[in-house]
Structure 1
Amino acid sequence: MRYYRCIFVLSILTTGLLGGFAKHLRLSPPWDDTHIKHSWNAVPKNWESLGHPPSGTAIDLYIALKPQRENAVVDALYEVSEPGHPRYRAYLTKEQVADLVAPRPETLELVNSWLEHHGISSSSISMTHGGNTLMLKAVSVTQADTLLGASYQLYRHIERGETIVRTVGYSLPMALHWHVLTVAPTTSFVFPPRTQWQTAQNRSDRAVKSTSGEPATVLSSRAKVNPVTPSFLRWLYDSEAYTPNTHGENVLGIVGFLGHYPSPADLGAFMRKYLSEAGDATFTVVEINGEKYDPTHPHDEANVDIQYAEAMAYPTPHIFYSTGGGPPRTDDIWMSWLKYILDQENIPQTISISYNILEHFLSREWAINACNQFAKLGVRGVSVLVSSGNKGIGPGTCMRDDGTVRFKPSFPGICPYVTVVGGTTDFEPEVAASFSGGGFSDYFKRPTYQEEAVSTFLQDLGNRYQGLYNASGRGIPDIAAQAVGLPIFLNGNEIKVSGTSAAAPIVAGIISLLNDWLILTGQGPLGFLNPWLYGRGSRGFTDITEGSNPGCNLDGFSAIAGWDPVTGLGTPRFRKMLEQLL
């Protein structure tokens, strides 16, 4: 009996010791047991290393943590966005979203222990991005190298000359791989290219190929308008009879990067010429991440965004978000803007973004995390409209390092939680603009709201381009609008531009009008649009069935009846969309 009692006591002591040892291991694992989180085999194309950044260079690091309830925010997004669901348009507050995405306590314990081990001051750490991202303020590059097993360098874009601080690889302790989704800025060269306005081919004198590759009917004549003015757009998209009435409750946001500023003087000149009743149009500027707004040096990108959003939604209040950081750019401009907007108690009901970056310049982890931030906007009742890009199915040859060809869609369009706008031209009928970005994501699977529409297109496409794109991926764009020959004012002079950068704010203006009517009638705004768009909302669009989007030295996809990866579901008709809401 005494023998068994000794074993029992020894067992208790051993269990207690092992339990304490296990707890110690859980809180203080071997931080030198690191494994690669993400790396590139080589420096991304068109970038070259200039060596180590200047002494004293510091960066703000964002550490995205895995939520305790991994799919909670996306599940909530579909609940509040699906017509017919009991929680349709029952949007969440900032605090409710934070609760949904909160990391596990043990995740915070581990990460904080790791940061403490590396001498990161707790005073420099804050929670951001709606509640599951740690921001480390002003970390020296030397300290970031040690923390992440990285080699941050200064990279220069060969063609544009712009510089950015990044690393081609980084590591984390093995104990953190399950807890940390991604760290930014690291390996994603998320630096939107400067605007390259496009010139669409004249489709009235050339054949348009069908998806089978056979020539379609040659278009002998087509109604054109020159230029595509605000009054024409309001007529074409049937919104000219509606005037916003919510007296400031409804707001439209425009996102700007890279020191691109809009000019109030140019906006005034534009409105006085093309929409005289809106000659007093104005906007508010919000400076983010140390940006300094300079209206004396306007940029064509910012001007087209603000001028066409205002042209469609006047007198709705507009906010222009000017996001800075550089040069050299040590920040992640997307994370900087998302941090700011998600930290706000009140967010514009509609947001337009006309910047994009090719998917293959991003790590999959970074893209997924950034996309989840857009889901947080949607669950709070925000409609996010983004341009599809101006490279058709992809720029150049689209050849990868292994010699194979792969179509190249763009972020943020690849994200299933935003609404992507392609480009059209002409009227009676409208046709696809030849540069309209479209295709299928390699990182994101096809969302359920697209299943029927995209499957129908793929059946028609057959084996054409098989292996050059991800047939099970998220398809883009969702919708389209005019994108060719739009006049803007820049530095007091009138010029014409073409690109989906114009199409996105045009559609954002129309969505803002719908939100205005909903708010006026005591309802919640549209929020995340796509489940509604691919259902009843599709009846409010004009299907585009002509044109294609060549790229990658190929003919590209063709616009056909129904959804297609050139113009999506088609172009909006405001009153028809309003009828579907009624």
Structure 2
Amino acid sequence: MQCKSTNIPSLVDAIATLASHLPEEAKIAVHLRCQLLAFGYYDNVIDLWNIATAVLTATLKLHEGVTIGTIKSITFSSDGNLLAAGSEWHIMRENVILQSVAFLPDGKLLASGSTEGIKFWDTATGVLKRTVKAADPHSQQDTVTNFHYYIEYHFLQFGCRIRTVEDMALRATLLLLTLGLAWTADAAPSREVKHVLHEKRDSLPERWTKRDRVPRDKLLPMRIGLAQSNLEKAYEHLLDVSHPDSANYGKHWTPEEVIKAFQPSDKTVESVKTWLTDNGISSKRITHSDNRGWLAFFATPDEAERLLKTEFHEFEDSVTGGIMPACDEYHVPHHLKEHVDYITPGIKLLAPVDGQNRIKRDNMVRVVSEDKSKRGKTLTRRVNHALRDPLEEGSARAEAVRAAMSTDPNDLSTCDVAISPACVAALYKIPPATRAHPNNSLGIFESELQFYTQQDLDLFFANFTPQIPQGTHPIAANIDGGQQSTTDPYYAGGEVSLDLQLAYPIVYPQTITDYEVDDFIVQSNPNDTYTFGFNTFLDALDGSYCTFSAYGETGNDPYLDQSYPDPGGWQGELMCGVYKPTNVISVSYGGQEVDLPLSYQRRQCLEYAKLGLQGVSFLFASGDSGVSNYPNSGDGPTGCIGSKLNVFNPTWPNTCPYVTNVGATKVYPGKTVWDPESAVFDPAGHPYSVNYSSGGGFSNVFPIPDYQQDAVANFFKEHNPPYPYYSALAPDTNDIQQMIDIDSLVGNTGGIYNRIGRGVPDVAANGDNIVVYNGGNYTLSGGTSASTPIFASVINRINDERLWAGKSPLGFLNPSLYANPSMLNDITNGTNPGCDTLGFSAVPGWDPVTGLGTPNFPKMLKYYMSLP
């Protein structure tokens, strides 16, 4: 290194300024001719500064895993090419402490002084050349110290980065760095690295107040979310095993293969680890998650601030009184930006959470009333599915329905009044099942205090399906304290009764697995209707999801998802990967896209793709409010969105392109099971308190997937809706608090629906006037909550036949459905009103009311059995 001459006095002030900011215990070395200053820390880190510009040019650390203690001495060779540093190293059997290092005048030898004496090292080879021990052990310390002062007097010292040399006899550590040329292969000096802004908070939420800097004696639990590999290829991978034209159709992946496909690359892991270890974070301090998605370590505030070029302050939450560390922005090296997803603590402000008082994001808190007098008969909470008011015993309506119903459960003449199992079988040409494959079970998701009673099941079996034995019940798969059943008819759940009593007549003797999610306390929280326990459900099916990092989130969201153990509730740990998912899972719950952050939706959507790769079919009810949500549901008095409350309101997680959505149809009065069905619509009033129509529309988050492009394009070409539209999707973001800004998407178009979003639903089935026993009473129910278990049961029956034939389950359904829509019954009549419009229309081909149509079991079975 060639150093220019300089005016030494002119640098004195600059040195004094830099030194004034150093800790008292820092060791300083200066090379005036090279205008360099170095100082060492207690944590074995050395900073190298340009004196003239006061710019930090490098941060250096002692060799990983070798030294532990305070840097005792640092020094430059006279030509500025070499730097040496020594530190304490206490060993159990030998308390050896290196006190001083200094170069001889010609720079060929380096002297190190310790509590055992003085050693001379060849700077070119690192070989120990000579050892001088003091005769009197009590004078050793003085001998070393005096030697050091003598060398310091003769040479200008300066601290810079280092390399390790270890004498096994002495068991002490010496570090040496050649500036510009590494002494050994792994001894390359740190270079100045350009840092770039990675995340910055736009504004501080009102509930938070920024306080003082984080105390220097605190430890920060650092977590670095690593950029996952191949996330953009999830759709491609899923199509490869799901599209009927693919040579790999049905060749589903193992859970291990899925984890490996999406885990951070080796380059990402090693790049970030190297950055950490190069900056003083020993590899022994770093934990790597099982799914390789994140790195964790504890750091002092000084370490964290030096790493991220920021300052950490304490932020106080006015709602909970909690304190958390965070920064306003942080930086990462330019070459790591593509490898780092997010870092915490960072800009995210997450209030402390306990199991009994979960704090939601301010703009998400909705207190929704619940009619406890009708518990188990109808839900008035914000569950986006309409359960029909019960038929009150002795009422005129109840008597009229009973009179219309034949005592013969197989009579099809009254299917326009009440839909029995025989009506469903006739509508979709479903023959009775005669066998059950041991590897096949229909999964049904339940939450929101939905407990079945065996009394209701037995009453239903006795009256409508006597071939099903009394006492038949689902397999219990309780998750995080979930409760499956009750003996008290007061607590019988209308949703679970509907699901089970629709599914059993189609699949029996196949089994049903009831996934009951979250403990009683969680399910009793009205705010839980915003997430429904989907994340804890997915955790239980796929253990890697518990720590999966994507879109700025790792694991469950502490605001939106329940944490376990839950005080007063489930005392166990969060259940991760405890259940093997069934081949088909029916879900009759859901909300709206606008109610959840974009990152939350996208991360969860990706998990459905990962499970689809493993051969799991997810079917979701599309919603019961047409193109809107229920009035006064939390999204405004009309259930529509935007500042004008007139924009259509798509459902979640239905718009995720990796699930299959089921809309609803109806046999209208005077029609029979041999007539074409129509899209369901029941106006507000008895028996419904609000309008009921098949949920459908277009996403504001996810684009139209390839498998749906032609169907949607045909709908717009042949049946263009008479409404203004907009063509914009919510941005990709790692900000876990960012919601959909509808007004920004609409812009000045005046549009009320999105022209480029994923279309919903995909298919449909009957969802009105369904006979149910609930709470010991005979009643009628309905909703896409009914349509979904019907379609899911059909798929489960087809899977059973494929398994007996030695084939794989169907897995992700949509590519095959859209590739062969003729196997479905096209619905061409009806609309799904909302937002003061008629909504969309059911038309020939796909439409956002009933999708591709209802099942035709013989055609579907023939088609799917023809696939490999």
Shorter-chain TM-score category?
0.7 to 0.9
Distance 1:421 1:305 in 2: 14
Distance 2:676 2:446 in 1: 33
The CA deviation string for residues 77-125 of structure 1, in whole angstroms up to 9 with x for no partner, is: 1100011212110001111111012124646996998xxx9xxxx9999
Q: Is 2:475 the partner of 1:284? A: yes
CA 1:417 to 1:401, structure 2 compared with 1: closer, same or farther past 3 Å?
Answer: closer
1:77 is aligned, of 226, 230, 238, to 238
Distance 1:566 1:293 in 2: 33
Give 1:197's aligned residue: 386
CA 1:89 to 1:298, structure 2 compared with 1: closer, same or farther past 3 Å?
Answer: same
Give 1:455's aligned residue: 713
**Is the CA contact 1:432–1:566 (under 8 Å) kept in the aligned structure 2?**
yes
1:295 is aligned, of 468, 481, 486, to 486
Give the letter aligned to residue 253 of structure 1: G
Distance 2:259 2:601 in 1: 20
Aligned positions of 1:367-446 closer than 5 A: 367-395=601-629, 396=631, 397-400=638-641, 402-403=643-644, 405-426=646-667, 427=673, 428-434=675-681, 435-446=693-704
Distance 2:448 2:861 in 1: 36
**Is the CA contact 1:228–1:484 (under 8 Å) kept in the aligned structure 2?**
yes
> Deviation at 1:273?
1.2
Aligned positions of 1:93-242 closer than 5 A: 93-104=254-265, 106=268, 127=290, 132=293, 151=317, 173=330, 175=332, 179-180=340-341, 187=361, 189=364, 193-194=382-383, 196-197=385-386, 224-242=415-433
**Is the CA contact 1:181–1:365 (under 8 Å) kept in the aligned structure 2?**
no
> Deviation at 1:262?
2.2
CA 1:87 to 1:64, structure 2 compared with 1: closer, same or farther past 3 Å?
Answer: farther
Distance 2:610 2:767 in 1: 29
The CA deviation string for residues 452-510 of structure 1, in whole angstroms up to 9 with x for no partner, is: 11111111333622221111110000000000001111121111111001110111000
**Is the CA contact 1:481–1:507 (under 8 Å) kept in the aligned structure 2?**
yes
Give the letter aligned to residue 410 of structure 1: T
What secondary structure does 1:266 align onto?
helix
> Deviation at 1:7?
8.5
> Deviation at 1:36?
3.5
Give 1:341's aligned residue: 541
> Deviation at 1:550?
0.2
What secondary structure does 1:488 align onto?
strand
**Is the CA contact 1:422–1:566 (under 8 Å) kept in the aligned structure 2?**
yes
1:271 is aligned, of 461, 467, 486, to 461
Q: Is 2:190 the partner of 1:20? A: yes
Give the letter aligned to residue 99 of structure 1: K
Distance 1:177 1:189 in 2: 31
CA 1:83 to 1:41, structure 2 compared with 1: closer, same or farther past 3 Å?
Answer: farther
What secondary structure does 1:277 align onto?
coil
CA 1:134 to 1:236, structure 2 compared with 1: closer, same or farther past 3 Å?
Answer: farther
Q: Is 2:513 the partner of 1:319? A: yes
Aligned positions of 1:344-355 closer than 5 A: 344=577, 346-355=580-589
Q: Is 2:462 the partner of 1:251? A: no
Distance 1:127 1:37 in 2: 33
> Deviation at 1:392?
0.2
Give 1:521's aligned residue: 805
Distance 1:147 1:268 in 2: 61
2:838 is aligned, of 531, 552, 555, to 555
Bigger drift between 475-484 and 267-276 goes to 267-276
Q: Is 2:260 the partner of 1:66? A: no
**Is the CA contact 1:37–1:177 (under 8 Å) kept in the aligned structure 2?**
no
**Is the CA contact 1:383–1:418 (under 8 Å) kept in the aligned structure 2?**
yes
| Structure 1: 5+ residue stretches without partners | 43-61, 137-145, 155-164, 201-221
> Deviation at 1:21?
6.0
CA 1:227 to 1:190, structure 2 compared with 1: closer, same or farther past 3 Å?
Answer: farther
Q: Is 2:722 the partner of 1:464? A: yes
CA 1:107 to 1:520, structure 2 compared with 1: closer, same or farther past 3 Å?
Answer: same
Give 2:762's aligned residue: 478
**Is the CA contact 2:383–2:590 (under 8 Å) kept in the aligned structure 1?**
no
CA 1:405 to 1:237, structure 2 compared with 1: closer, same or farther past 3 Å?
Answer: same
Give 1:53's aligned residue: none
Distance 2:619 2:474 in 1: 19
Distance 2:203 2:792 in 1: 35
> Deviation at 1:134?
9.2
> Deviation at 1:71?
2.4
**Is the CA contact 1:148–1:171 (under 8 Å) kept in the aligned structure 2?**
no
| Structure 2: 5+ residue stretches without partners | 5-78, 83-177, 208-222, 298-311, 351-358, 367-380, 390-412, 544-576, 632-637, 668-672, 682-692, 725-750
> Deviation at 1:263?
2.3
**How many residue pairs were aligned?**
508
CA 1:132 to 1:565, structure 2 compared with 1: closer, same or farther past 3 Å?
Answer: farther
**Is the CA contact 2:628–2:640 (under 8 Å) kept in the aligned structure 1?**
no
CA 1:470 to 1:2, structure 2 compared with 1: closer, same or farther past 3 Å?
Answer: closer
> Deviation at 1:37?
9.0
> Deviation at 1:525?
0.7
CA 1:89 to 1:490, structure 2 compared with 1: closer, same or farther past 3 Å?
Answer: same
> Deviation at 1:342?
1.5
> Deviation at 1:69?
2.2
Distance 2:810 2:853 in 1: 19
> Deviation at 1:523?
0.4
> Deviation at 1:11?
3.5
> Deviation at 1:198?
5.7
**Is the CA contact 2:387–2:495 (under 8 Å) kept in the aligned structure 1?**
no
Give the letter aligned to residue 313 of structure 1: V
Distance 1:295 1:170 in 2: 49
CA 1:223 to 1:401, structure 2 compared with 1: closer, same or farther past 3 Å?
Answer: same
CA 1:562 to 1:322, structure 2 compared with 1: closer, same or farther past 3 Å?
Answer: same
**Is the CA contact 1:190–1:362 (under 8 Å) kept in the aligned structure 2?**
no
Give the letter aligned to residue 233 of structure 1: V
Distance 1:315 1:579 in 2: 21
What secondary structure does 1:390 align onto?
coil
Bigger drift between 361-370 and 382-391 goes to 361-370
Higher relative contact order (CA 8 A, sep 6+): 1
What secondary structure does 1:378 align onto?
helix
Give 1:564's aligned residue: 847
> Deviation at 1:383?
0.9
**Is the CA contact 1:38–1:170 (under 8 Å) kept in the aligned structure 2?**
no
> Greater helix percent: which structure?
1
Aligned positions of 1:352-367 closer than 5 A: 352-367=586-601
The CA deviation string for residues 489-537 of structure 1, in whole angstroms up to 9 with x for no partner, is: 112111111100111011100000000000010100110000000012x
**Is the CA contact 1:149–1:172 (under 8 Å) kept in the aligned structure 2?**
no
Which of 1 and 2 has greater Rg? 2
**Is the CA contact 1:244–1:513 (under 8 Å) kept in the aligned structure 2?**
no
Distance 1:394 1:195 in 2: 10
Query: Cα RMSD between the aligned structures?
Result: 4.4
Give the letter aligned to residue 200 of structure 2: H
Distance 1:171 1:266 in 2: 57
Give 2:180's aligned residue: 11
Give the letter aligned to residue 86 of structure 1: A
1:492 is aligned, of 742, 767, 776, to 776
